[in-house]
Amino acid sequence: MAETVTAYVKNVRDTAKSFWEGMSVTLSYMFRKPITTQFPDRMGVPVQQTIPARYRGFLEVDMDICTACLACERACPISVINIDTIKGDGKTKPKLAMERFDIDIGKCMYCGLCVEPCPTGAIQHTREFEGATMNFNNLTLRFVPDALSPIAAYKVPKGSDAFPRRQLGEITRKLIKAWDAPPPPFPSEEEAKQDHGKPKATGLDPAAMGRTLAAKALQVKEDKPKLQKVIEEAMAGTDCGDCGYPDCFGYSNAIAQGKETSAEKCAPGGAESKKMLETILVSLKTGVVPGAPAEAPAAAPAAAPAAAEEKPKGPPLAQTLSKDELYKVVLDAMAGTDCGDCEYPDCDGYTKGIVYEGQTDLNRCAPGGEDTRTKLYEIMLGTKPPPK
C-alpha cells in the first residue's frame, strides 16, 4: 500500500515538473524578439548585405575594364553570354569595340566558369538575387545599352596586375527591372532616345528588329555558329521545347543549318518571333532584307574587287620588311585583348614569338578570329589560311 502511494505521489510530482518545464519554455518566447522577419519591407538592412561575399548571385560586367577577349563567352557551357565585337582602324574608330554584351540570367546556372578566365576581373558574381518578373525578356542584362554606340575594349597597361573596378553590384542593380515592368521593345525607347533625344532609325517594333537581325544574318551567312546566334535572338529564349527541339539553340541551329524552314514553332515568342524569323529566312533566301530602304542593299560594284584580285601579288611582308618593321605590322593584326589564350602572356609576347622566335602557329589569336588569322597568313606566308 505504501509503495502504491509513493508511486502515485512521484507521478504527480513528475507531471507537475514536466508541465512547468514546458510552460517555462513557451513563456520565455514572450520576452524574445521574433525570429521570423517579414521580407522585404521589414528588414533592418538589405538582405544582400547579410550574404557572404563569395555568394554567386547575378553576374555583372564592368565595361570600363573589359578587354573583349571573349574568354567568358567561350567558357559558358550553355551560351548565356553573348558578345558582338567590331573592329576599327584604331584612329577614327577603336581598334576593337563591343556592340553587344548580354547576359541572360534567366538561363544562367551560376557555375562561375565565366569569372575564372577573365584577365581583368571585369565579370564577377554579385550578391543580387531578386529576379521575380512577369516578363522573361527582362531577365537579360544588357551591359552595352546601345548597339549603335559600341564600347571600346579596355587596353591593359603593360605590367598591370590590378585593375580599378566599380563597386560590385552597382551596375547590375541599375539593370534589374521591377517584377511587373513591361517587356522592353528592341531597342527600348530609352535606348533609342539616347542620341540627342531623338528616336534612332532602327525602330521600336518587331518588323524593325527583324530587319536588323536579317542584316546581321546576311553578314554572317557562311559562319553557321554566328548565324545561329543571330537567329536565336528572334526567339523567346525560354527553352520550353514547344518547337519540337530541346531548346532555342536546337531550333535556331536547325534553321542556320538549313534543316528547318518553319518560322511558326516558337509559341512563347508568338507573332513577334514569327515575323522576325520570317524576315530572316526571306533575307537568307533572297540575299536582300525585305522592307529595307532602297539604298540599304546597294552593294559596291563587283568590278573593283575583281580588279584588285587581278593585280599580281609580291612576296609576303615577312620577306621584305626588317624584323622591327614586321613586328609592328604583326602586332597591329592582333586583336589587342592581351587575353593569354595564345599561351603567351599578351599580344606583344605572341607577336615577338612569331617575328623573333620562329613561332609558326598562326592560329592562336582566338579573339581576332578568322580576320586576324587571315592577316597573319598573308603577312608571314603571302597566302590565304587553310580551312579549319
pLDDT tens digits for 247-279? 888 999 999 998 998 888 887 777 788 888 989
Shared domain check, 264 and 231:
yes
C-alpha cell at 215: 542584316
Residues 130 and 214 placed together within one structural domain of the fold = no
Claim to verify: residue 223 and residue 284 sit in the same structural domain: yes
Last residue within a domain, chosen from 179, 194, 222: 179
DSSP 3-state of 57: coil
- The sign of the dihedral angle between the CA atoms of 73, 74, 75, 80 is positive
Residues spanned by the domain of 106: 59-179
Same-domain check for residues 73 and 144: yes
Residue 53 lies in a domain: no
| Burial class of residue 145 (count of CB atoms within 10 Å of its CB; 0-12, 13-18, 19+) | middle
Residues 131 and 238 in one domain: no
8 A C-beta contact, residue 36 and residue 29: no
Amino acid at 108: C
**Could you list the pLDDT tens digit for every one of the 388 residues in the chain?**
777 878 888 899 999 999 999 898 888 888 887 777 777 777 778 888 889 989 999 999 999 999 999 999 999 999 899 999 988 877 888 888 999 999 999 999 999 999 999 999 999 999 999 888 888 888 999 999 988 889 999 988 877 888 889 999 999 999 998 888 887 665 544 554 454 444 333 333 677 778 888 888 888 888 888 899 889 888 877 777 788 898 888 999 999 998 998 888 887 777 788 888 989 998 888 888 876 554 444 444 444 444 444 444 567 888 888 888 889 889 888 888 888 888 888 888 899 999 999 898 998 888 878 888 888 998 898 888 888 6
The answer to whether position 386 is within a domain reads no
Helix ranges (H only) for the chain are 2-28, 71-75, 170-175, 189-192, 206-219, 224-232, 248-256, 270-286, 303-310, 317-320, 323-333, 347-355, 369-380
Same domain, 112 and 136: yes
Same domain, 376 and 274: no
Residue 184 resides in a domain: no
Domain assignment present for 101: yes
Domain boundary among 179, 195, 218: 179
Helix (H) or strand (E) run with residue 59 in it? strand 59-61
The number of distinct structural domains making up the chain is 3
Question: Do residues 278 and 341 share a domain?
Answer: no
Residue 326 lies in a domain: yes
- The residues pairing with 84 across neighbouring beta strands, listed in sequence order, are 100
Residue 60 pairs with which residues in a beta bridge? 124
CATH of the domain at 351: 1.10.15
